[in-house]
Amino acid sequence: MLHGKVAIVTGGAIGIGAATAKILAAQGATVVIGDINQQAALQTTEQIRSADGHALFQPCDVRNEADIQALVQFALEQGGLDIMINNAGIGGQPAPLHLTENHNWQRVLDIDLTGVFWGQKYASQAMLATGKGGAIVNVASIAGVGGSPNLGPYGVAKAGVIQMSKTGAIELASAGIRINAVCPGWTETAILEGFEPSAHERMIRSIPLKRMGTPQEIAELIVFLASPAASFITGAEYIIDGGITSM
Ligand SMILES: NC(=O)c1ccc[n+]([C@@H]2O[C@H](COP(=O)([O-])OP(=O)(O)OC[C@H]3O[C@@H](n4cnc5c(N)ncnc54)[C@H](O)[C@@H]3O)[C@@H](O)[C@H]2O)c1
């Protein structure tokens, strides 16, 4: 379904991004992974290649504007840019907002908000230049939908990502560029490693489906939104959380 398309996945080395890169490649896309974790990213590209997919790695720290510009340029050199998945993100140090350290606030905003802004900005410019339209999926979180106690900077950044997706979607709809946000709930990835086992148990108890999501489940939704099957969907925020936000 995605043969001939070129896709970028930021933070595609592990977790939700790696699962997304694998499905995109399995559907025929050439996937460019941009990440700071070179070793894991190369492992993921190798796994994709050994399954007969096309994958490349371009080092990219989303805190650096020039890295993102180079990532987009690298994708264009592979034949174009049809799909941009702005997925790279961190959780930050858990603390209530009134005790959040300024450097933690800034670090989370730099990666989770400004990094997505640059990803959306330069991918949009590239898609406008090719004139073929495209699809951008920004990975937000349910933390950006409601209040997110002890994850203040993260929630603020993710709320910003949802807003940025909607604004860009309206601005670029006439150019055939669709932009959507995916809002996962708790998902089994390394991002949760900092939490105590008791916190994991509390999280699972709070989920109506009584388990966390898998990276594969989140990735399936991301790829659907990036694919022609979602051709009438833009400016939407998709919650995928095992039912938490419906409570
Ligand atoms: N796991 C969850 O429960 C959950 C819930 C909601 C939203 N999310 C979001 O999903 C996305 C993926 O997270 P994950 O759970 O797969 O986490 P993860 O820690 O497994 O993967 C994050 C990836 O981003 C990369 N990354 C981190 N900082 C980077 C930077 N500065 N530049 C480039 N790459 C960088 C990491 O190297 C890694 O490959 C994030 O945006 C996260 O906020 C995760």
- Nearest atom of ligand 1 to the alpha carbon of 188: 1
Mutate-to-test residue for ligand 1 from 8, 10, 16, highest number of ligand atoms within 8 A of CB: 16
pLDDT 10s digits, 147-196: 999 999 999 999 999 999 999 999 999 999 999 999 999 999 998 887 78
CA–CA distances in Å: residue 186 to residues 139, 143, 169, 191, 203: 13, 10, 26, 10, 7
- Nearest atom of ligand 1 to the alpha carbon of 158: 43
Catalytic site includes residue 238: no
pLDDT 10s digits, 7-35: 999 999 999 999 999 999 999 999 999 99
pLDDT of residue 198: 87
pLDDT of residue 115: 99
Confidence grade of residue 217 (pLDDT, cut at 50, 70, 90):
very high
Q: Is the pLDDT of residue 142 over 90?
A: yes
Which of 150, 146, 177, 149 has the alpha carbon at shortest distance from 159?
A: 146
Cβ-based neighbours of 98, under 8 Å, separated by 6 or more: none
Q: Which of 74, 105, 117, 154 is catalytic?
A: 154
Mutate-to-test residue for ligand 1 from 9, 10, 31, 35, highest number of ligand atoms within 8 A of CB: 35
pLDDT of residue 199: 84
pLDDT of residue 128: 98
CA of 86 to the centre of ligand 1 (A): 10
Q: Is the pLDDT of residue 88 over 80?
A: yes
CA-nearest residue, atom 38 of ligand 1: 11
CA-nearest residue, atom 37 of ligand 1: 37
pLDDT of residue 192: 85
Mutate-to-test residue for ligand 1 from 20, 86, 90, highest number of ligand atoms within 8 A of CB: 90
CA of 174 to the centre of ligand 1 (A): 31
CA of 73 to the centre of ligand 1 (A): 23
- Let me know: does 21 contact 47? Beta carbons within 8 Å: no
Name all domains of the chain by residue range, CATH numbers in brackets.
6-238 (3.40.50.720)
pLDDT of residue 33: 99
pLDDT 10s digits, 120-131: 999 999 999 999
Percent of the chain's residues with pLDDT above 90: 94
